Structure 1
Amino acid sequence: MKRRSEPAETLKKKKKHSSQSDSHSDDEDAKPSYSMPSLSEQADSQQQNSSRFSMYNSVSQKLMAKMGFREGEGLGKFGQGRREIVEASTQRGRRGLGLTLKGFQGELNVDWRDEPEASAVEEVHWFPESSTEIPDCHFIGPVVSEWRSQLRKMEIEDETEFCSEDLLHNLLRCKSVFDDLEGEEMRRARTRSNPYETIRGVFFLNRAAMKMANMDHVFDYMFTNPKDAQGKPYTRDREGELLYFGDVCAGPGGFSEYVLWRRRWHAKGFGMTLRGPNDFKLEDFFAAPSELFEPFYGEGGVDGDGDITRPENISAFRNFVLESTERRGLHFLMADGGFSVEGQENLQEILSKQLLLCQFLTALSTLRTGGHFVCKTFDLFTPFSVGLIYLLYLCFDRVSLFKPVTSRPANSERYVVCRGLKPGSDPVRDYLFTVNLKLNQLKHAESDVTEVVPLDIIKADTDFYNYMINSNERHCAIQIKALAKIHAYVLDTTLSEPQQAEIRKQCLKLWGIPDKVRVAPASADPKSKFYELMKGSDIEAFNYKPTPLSHSTLEKMQHVLDYRCIVGGGEHLFLLSLGKGLLDWTGSVTMFCLRSLPTNELLCLHLGKAQRRINAVHVLDALVLNGTDVRDQHFNQRIQMAEKFVRAVSKPSRPDMNPIRIKEVYRLEEMEKIFVRLEMKVTKSSGGVPRLSYTGRDDRHFLPSGLYIIKTVNGKCPGSWVDKWHPWTMAYSKKSKRKFFYNKLTRESTYDLPSGSVAPFHVCHFERMFWAWEDGVRVHDSQTRVDPEKLSKEDVLTFIHHWRGKILFKVQSTNLKP
């Protein structure tokens, strides 16, 4: 059918409606459509249409030509259609067609294009050092009672003591622009506009881990490698010192995953966060061993609720940390608390005030003197928030308000970074504890605590006051530009940040983070993992049994200073941990679960039972600790490292987990110390008959089976199966009253440990002896049955005293190397 032509008047009306509804029309197109253009106007229009048409690619031009489009003419049979190029859709996200968000389509009148060029290098601005003494309890108590409680305030617009009114109102206006914007649309624009956005979490659990990596680098690794005023590390890995840290309000645990990735089994973490969907997700720690982290939830321990605003939870967490750190406290504490304030973003500072206070209080409750603290804050405009910062300013050597590049520039997030807790901060801690009690009492009241430090005191400290204003205004200016930039990116979806890939590469390189993707660790076959860790070692050596100690073998132990001894008890095993329990090296799962061990551990140990029938693991030696091969270390060093490792993985809050302990090591010449710990006791399984019992240094008892004697000096005999002869032994100088190493071939003497004298694990294991305390062996004075064919306590002690006297010879000082 032929299409019926429409009256000319109808066509005129359609043209007029089309031109008025086109918000992007040029001035000439805004003229009434029924007015005939002049020849010059027609020529100009054709030239403009031609230039616009040429902007499209050849495919588009062909499609438009098929539709009957001719330059300068309208579409349609009679040329009555549109002559202009159809503009792109203005529909955004889930908005309905034609919906215009009031206040968003307009301009913010903020020039965001002059923002500084993105860089991986960041600058730290410290508060000036405080010369004000920490207030004591006599000062705080009477003074604060007069001003700390006022009417509840739920507005931020008039908080201009620490920021100019113009900047504050401009910031609030920029935030309010996004109130009616659909969330996904906002997130997409934010992602495109932030030059640091693609850093994300790399191979860690989340972006929080990268924030910690970012700040750790900027602050010279003061968290993962803290140092004293002389620049010496607080912890030394080889000296058995652990790095103790805390992580509160920080589920799922990205901060801790980074720290443990950096320090591994040389660190031990304690954490408290709310139970529920935002709890720690330790099973998702792919980059670091989560077994080195111990969650604690306040009152009730592992069964608590983790609410940091409850005073009893803070006290319980403090006690738990002190008990786990020999009453010394943490080296540093991290806090990353926050909660959703959707629809009330401008009130985030007020709504989060108690959470901020409790995180500060937890830091002052758990840190050791000299410890560090980092905590997330938001806007800092109110006297309450600034007063909390002021108290930290008094309690720490240095304080900084810092926004890392990994924190999105458009949000209010900042971090307060505190270095070096001063001694004498207890009064401030007690005061904040009192304020928190008051806040809990007033939760549903009309009154509130609106200050923690009188405003006139803060303003009188001009160094602090001026820094606070400068920091707030600098932060506001950056945030306003970032919000204006997102606003522009929402309006124009073609905008993007071209530097994102390069900036990501620069940052990761600067912070020492490998550019890898997050991948769940593959499950390993125990036997394959064992061979991988042993790296071609003689596997048969693991099957060697110890040489029984007898009258004949005792005579071969001429150099008693070369030996150490350990009281044995239970089954002797080599166990490999793959992180999900404990397995022996042949791959069969043991009958108990030791979930406290991370992956890649190979230990020589006993599975023993205490008198209360508690399965326990007693470590005799270590080969590999969380992937670190320690077999070539001196035996004493291996034991020291194993002790450190056990402290890191111990879980005192988890009685459901089998305990792991290190065997006590004695020098052979000090064997008398062992015998005084032996006694005859009636046990549950002894049928009323006293049995030999050994009491360890932790006052725990177990039933000993004998004594392992281990040679720790590499004085190998000719013809031995091991590498070669290293004729080293230990002796004692009467003149210097010190032990030294002596080479029987070269007659070289030195106090320092020669590398060739160290007996690696395979030598210690191959040459070890075992003195079985079986029937007929008398090691306790109450034992009456003695078998003369077997060694008793008197035989061994007589031998030791004889040879110890022979090695206490004089040595010329000139022969000894210092």
Structure 2
Amino acid sequence: MISDNITDYELNMSLQYQNLNMYETDIESSDISQNETSSSHNDEKVLRMMQKMGYKEGSGLGKSEQGNTKVVDFNYQLGKRGFGLKLRNIEDTMEKWDFALEDVNVKENFIWLDNEDAENFTLTVEEMSSWLKEGPPIVDIKTQSNYCDQEFLNKVVEAKDIFDEMDIIELCHARARCNPFESLRSAFFMNRAALKMANIDALTDFMFTNIDKNEHFTSNTGPFYFADVCAGPGGFSEYILWKKRWLFKGFGLTLKDENDFKLHESCCACPATFQSLYGKDEDGNVCSPENITDFTEKVLFETEGEGVHFMMSDGGFSVEGNENFQEILSKSIYICQCLVALEIVRSHGHFVTKLFDVFTSFSVGLLYLIYHCFEKVSILKPNSSRPANSERYFICSNLRRNTLHYENVKKYLWIIVQRLWALNGQSEIDILEIVPLEVLKKDENFYKFICNSNNSLAIKQTVGLKKLATFCRNPTLVESRQEELKKKCLEFWQIPDRQKTPLPQLNAIELVNTVMDKPEIILVQPREINQIKAFNELISNIEDWYYYPLFSSKKTNNCNFYAGVSVSKVYRLQKHKWVRIKNVQLSRGTLVYGEFVKEKCTTKSLQDQEIEYIQYSLHIIDALQLGEQNLSDLDFSERQEIIKVYCKSLNKESQPHLVRIRPKVMDKLIKISSNCLISQGKEGLYCNLPLMGYKSVTETFNVNSILLLKTNLNQSFHWSYVLRVQIFIKSVEDINEDTICLEDILIEIKQRS
């Protein structure tokens, strides 16, 4: 069943402006006499000088007056061409453009195709594998007309021929003038990709950035996870992180080096909660089966086996000189991105991926298989994508993960991906078809949907290409609707109309002064207890207190304030001075109280041997501000819940050189005797930690003291911090006058419980 949204925000151009050019009136050069031209365009001094040298007006230059007597028309020079050079299809003219040929709306026509036949689609992997058809590669895209009108296909292919004749500079100039939405550019983001995602998000009622409000995920406390595949430098992720801050965590897979993510260059989003992964081959190639497996394992591990809430992919590569073969050359990227989505998107999650032309049986068959895995799908050419190119986006809503069909399609895609990888570099054979034409035609709703989409987009692209050619031939033409469309689009997409400006510089002292009314509070030292008598006097009501096992000893107290002024600039307050520390990432604006801990971790090798290693970690005890979210007036329990989400968002287990970020383990003091977080080992006291490392077996740290926080009466951060108590403890075998034995505390609490 096909349902569509009503289009509003229509913008029509008034007749008097439809052929507006750089001149106020249209002037034909034939209407100007030769004498008028001479008197209007020739400098009088130059003319007198030439007459002294023998020049006669109306005659040509040269010994025999053989030179050209016509004025060289320099107003319409294009690109790098020499004067007088004319190229096929783009000869200089003063032709006009009929703006009525375009369908320009701020809110695009958008159609969902509902999947109503999912329950009846129960083909086995063996049955689907029999569909796979190989043969010589397609060399003529005009032969691929099973899913569109042959006339429309021919027109769009012929219109693309303009690229064969056009200089890149004149192409850019004409494109900037003719695209109604060109003035949007990239707004304040790194590139145009961010606005494409904003466009798609708004048109789908913000189903991506409002995934936290999705009825299937309302019980989630966060963070909400997304993946960005083949999408360097990261415009899609930049938009998500700008809109949702650290509440959303991203995982990226893209080619390294020049195509890598560059979110650190963003002027609006903090990349602290974005994690780049590159697969087993460490090159980021999504077409490598081993890279897909490695990426899947790590993403599922960090999302507790559930997967991401949505995935975006924007794969493509340069096809300069082969524009008509873009779809054929992109098939491996198409299918690998789709396979990754099926592997890592959680049940009821969403997926959006870039496509180009969808004329071949391979591409249509792939969309058919993916369509049957989701509740509904759509194909959109967003306004933020230039009208003359083949780009479009396949949008999939509500993954039906727990179905037999989903599992079988995933296995079938694996067969195809591995075969394409094996065929890599071979030019004489290719996979041509993965779903037979008769099967696709049998599904009337899907077949009609694909044909209608291809036909309508082919018409739109042909118009865009013809307009581009016209604007190339007539450099006086301009598109007068750009500024009005920019304003309306940004309003619809909920993007502020502001310039790209670097974030203002921030230092730790400024951050503290901004966050705290009384910054001197952070210098208050904890009260120390070294005798059980003092413990009884100070801790009158044990139900008011929480306890935290600490790594800190009397010699080295590692509890400090940490200030994040940018993702790579984090400072620690040491002896009343802010000192920059390495390998710690916090979102900009973060101010937390935490402990730097040396953890002991154990993993098992492939031979089942235990491997021990040290992992440094920042345990967050309490927080004043996390990113731009101020917590100082929230009660203790609220702060602790938000800290848990924040730590999940920022921790990056796949980057072991970075310091871990985790919430400090703690419990109510009244429970310490019955369920103590501290244990006695051969080497002293230690605390078991929740496992965070990839394939970890145990994670612990040595305990040298206990921190107590009073949390009754919904106390704010300031009161809990000022009233904190620290107890330095030792095991029974190593007791001395300045410490309290843990056993004494346990006995005392048990007696008072």
**What range describes the TM-score normalised by the shorter chain of this pair?**
0.7 to 0.9
Give the superposition deviation at 1:526: 2.3
Matched, 1:766 2:722: yes
Matched, 1:382 2:348: no
Which of 167, 187, 211 lines up with 2:196 in the alignment? 211
Give the superposition deviation at 1:532: 2.1
1:630-779 to 2 correspondences below 5 Å? 630-673=631-674, 675=676, 677-682=678-683, 691-698=684-691, 699-714=698-713, 758-774=714-730
Alignment-derived partner of residue 441 in structure 1: 422
Q: Is the 8 A contact 1:677 1:696 kept in 2?
A: no
Secondary structure at 2:113's aligned position in 1?
coil
For the structure 1 residues 783 and 626, does the alpha-carbon distance in structure 2 shift closer, same or farther, using more than 3 Å as the test? same
Alignment-derived partner of residue 755 in structure 1: none
1:168-317 to 2 correspondences below 5 Å? 168-226=153-211, 232=215, 234=217, 240-300=221-281, 304-317=282-295
Alignment-derived partner of residue 473 in structure 1: 455
Secondary structure at 2:465's aligned position in 1?
helix
**C-alpha distance after superposition, 1:44-65 (max 9, x if no partner):** xxxx658995x99xx9589679
Matched, 1:609 2:598: yes
Secondary structure at 1:482's aligned position in 2?
helix
For the structure 1 residues 375 and 61, does the alpha-carbon distance in structure 2 shift closer, same or farther, using more than 3 Å as the test? closer
Query: How many angstroms apart in 1 are the aligned matches of 2:32 and 2:481?
Result: 36
Give the superposition deviation at 1:147: 4.7
Which structure: greater strand fraction? 2
Give the superposition deviation at 1:312: 0.8
For the structure 1 residues 152 and 49, does the alpha-carbon distance in structure 2 shift closer, same or farther, using more than 3 Å as the test? closer
Give the superposition deviation at 1:384: 0.7
1:403-422 to 2 correspondences below 5 Å? 403-422=381-400
Query: How many angstroms apart in 1 are the aligned matches of 2:390 and 2:435?
Result: 23
Which of 363, 384, 392 lines up with 2:370 in the alignment? 392
Give the superposition deviation at 1:155: 1.4
Which of 78, 82, 88 lines up with 1:96 in the alignment? 82
Give the superposition deviation at 1:397: 0.3
Which of 465, 487, 492 lines up with 1:510 in the alignment? 492
Query: How many angstroms apart in 2 are the aligned matches of 1:364 and 1:109?
Result: 50
Which of 324, 330, 333 lines up with 2:302 in the alignment? 324
Give the superposition deviation at 1:531: 1.5
For the structure 1 residues 232 and 537, does the alpha-carbon distance in structure 2 shift closer, same or farther, using more than 3 Å as the test? farther
Matched, 1:600 2:601: no
Give the superposition deviation at 1:566: 1.0
Query: How many angstroms apart in 2 are the aligned matches of 1:621 and 1:383?
Result: 57
TM-score, with length taken from structure 2: 0.84
Query: How many angstroms apart in 2 are the aligned matches of 1:785 and 1:83?
Result: 109
Query: How many angstroms apart in 1 are the aligned matches of 2:57 and 2:662?
Result: 95
Q: Is the 8 A contact 1:111 1:481 kept in 2?
A: no
Which of 96, 110, 124 lines up with 1:139 in the alignment? 124
Matched, 1:114 2:100: yes
Amino acid aligned to 1:604: Y
Amino acid aligned to 1:203: F
Secondary structure at 1:104's aligned position in 2?
coil
Q: Structure with the greater relative contact order (CA < 8 A, sep ≥ 6): 1 or 2?
A: 2
Amino acid aligned to 1:248: V
Q: Is the 8 A contact 1:245 1:269 kept in 2?
A: yes
Secondary structure at 1:120's aligned position in 2?
coil
Alignment-derived partner of residue 432 in structure 2: 450
Query: How many angstroms apart in 2 are the aligned matches of 1:556 and 1:541?
Result: 22
Alignment-derived partner of residue 543 in structure 2: 561
Give the superposition deviation at 1:447: 2.4
Q: Is the 8 A contact 1:559 1:803 kept in 2?
A: no
Amino acid aligned to 2:371: Y
Aligned-residue Cα RMSD (Å) equals 3.1
For the structure 1 residues 785 and 655, does the alpha-carbon distance in structure 2 shift closer, same or farther, using more than 3 Å as the test? closer
Secondary structure at 1:700's aligned position in 2?
strand
| Equivalent residues, number | 684
Q: Is the 8 A contact 1:130 1:394 kept in 2?
A: no
Identity %: 32
Q: Which consecutive residues of structure 1, in runs of 5 or more, have no partner in the other structure?
A: 1-23, 27-47, 69-74, 683-690, 715-757, 775-779, 805-818
**C-alpha distance after superposition, 1:365-415 (max 9, x if no partner):** 111111100000000011110101111111100100001100001100000
Secondary structure at 1:474's aligned position in 2?
helix
For the structure 1 residues 765 and 160, does the alpha-carbon distance in structure 2 shift closer, same or farther, using more than 3 Å as the test? same
Stretch moving more, 354-363 or 567-576: 567-576
Give the superposition deviation at 1:477: 0.8
Matched, 1:576 2:563: yes
Secondary structure at 1:519's aligned position in 2?
coil
For the structure 1 residues 635 and 469, does the alpha-carbon distance in structure 2 shift closer, same or farther, using more than 3 Å as the test? same
Amino acid aligned to 1:695: N
Q: Is the 8 A contact 2:349 2:397 kept in 1?
A: yes
Secondary structure at 1:617's aligned position in 2?
strand
Alignment-derived partner of residue 3 in structure 2: none
Give the superposition deviation at 1:799: 5.0
For the structure 1 residues 122 and 233, does the alpha-carbon distance in structure 2 shift closer, same or farther, using more than 3 Å as the test? farther
Which of 493, 518, 521 lines up with 2:503 in the alignment? 521
Matched, 1:543 2:524: yes
Matched, 1:432 2:421: no
Give the superposition deviation at 1:352: 0.7
Q: Is the 8 A contact 1:134 1:394 kept in 2?
A: no
Amino acid aligned to 2:196: K
Query: How many angstroms apart in 2 are the aligned matches of 1:466 and 1:111?
Result: 32
Alignment-derived partner of residue 44 in structure 1: none
Give the superposition deviation at 1:146: 5.7
Query: How many angstroms apart in 2 are the aligned matches of 1:146 and 1:232?
Result: 38
Give the superposition deviation at 1:540: 3.4
Alignment-derived partner of residue 555 in structure 2: none
Alignment-derived partner of residue 737 in structure 1: none
Query: How many angstroms apart in 1 are the aligned matches of 2:674 and 2:109?
Result: 58
